[in-house]
Structure 1
Amino acid sequence: MSESALRLVWIYPDLLSTYGDRGNVLVVERRARQRGLQVERIDVRSDQQVPTSGDIYLIGGGEDRPQRLAGERIRQDPGLHRAVENGAIVFGVCAGFQILGHEFVDDRGQRTAGLGLLDVWSTRGESHRNVGDILAEPDPRLGLPTMTGFENHQGITHLGQGVSPLARVTVGGGNGTGDGTEGAWRDTVFGTYLHGPVMARNPAVADLLIKLALDVSALPPADNTWYDALRSERISAAQQQTA
Structure 2
Amino acid sequence: MSDTSSTLRIVWIYPDLLSTYGDQGNALILNRRAQLRGIPTEVVYVYSSDPVPAEGDIYLLGGGEDRPQILAADRLRSDGGLKRAVENGASVFAVCAGYQIIGESYGDDDDNPLPGVGILDIHSGRGESRAVGEIVAQLDPTLGGGRITGFENHQGRSRLGSDAAPLSYTSVGIGNDGQTEGAYQGKVVGTYLHGPALPRNPELADLVLRWRVGTLEPLAPSWGEKLHEERLTAAV
Residue equivalent to 2:221: 224
Q: Residue 108 of structure 1: CA displacement? A: 4.9
How far apart in 2 are the matches of 1:108 and 1:69?
16
Most deviating of 36-45 and 228-237:
228-237
Q: Residue 20 of structure 1: CA displacement? A: 1.2
Gaps of 5+ in 1: none
Do 2:111 and 2:125's aligned partners in 1 also have CA atoms closer than 8 Å? no
Do 2:202 and 2:225's aligned partners in 1 also have CA atoms closer than 8 Å? no
User: In the TM superposition, what are the counterparts of 1:25-104 in structure 2 within 5 Å?
Assistant: 25-104=27-106
Q: Residue 116 of structure 1: CA displacement? A: 1.1
Residue equivalent to 2:196: 197
User: In the TM superposition, what are the counterparts of 1:180-191 in structure 2 within 5 Å?
Assistant: 180-191=179-190
How far apart in 2 are the matches of 1:110 and 1:44?
28
> Which 4+ runs in 1 deviate beyond 2 A?
107-110
Counterpart amino acid of residue 201 in structure 2: N
Q: TM-score, normalised by structure 1?
A: 0.93
How far apart in 1 are the matches of 2:88 and 2:164?
19
How far apart in 1 are the matches of 2:105 and 2:71?
14
SS in structure 1 at match of 2:150? strand
How far apart in 1 are the matches of 2:204 and 2:53?
23
Q: TM-score, normalised by structure 2?
A: 0.96
SS in structure 1 at match of 2:69? helix
Q: Residue 88 of structure 1: CA displacement? A: 0.4
Q: Residue 45 of structure 1: CA displacement? A: 0.2
Do 1:89 and 1:213's aligned partners in 2 also have CA atoms closer than 8 Å? yes
SS in structure 2 at match of 1:166? strand
Name the count of aligned residue pairs. Answer: 233
Gaps of 5+ in 2: none
Residue equivalent to 2:161: 160
How far apart in 2 are the matches of 1:153 and 1:46?
23
The structure with more strand, counted as a fraction of residues? 2
Counterpart amino acid of residue 221 in structure 1: P
User: In the TM superposition, what are the counterparts of 1:133-172 in structure 2 within 5 Å?
Assistant: 133-172=134-173
SS in structure 2 at match of 1:165? strand
How far apart in 2 are the matches of 1:11 and 1:156?
23
User: In the TM superposition, what are the counterparts of 1:104-115 in structure 2 within 5 Å?
Assistant: 104-115=106-117
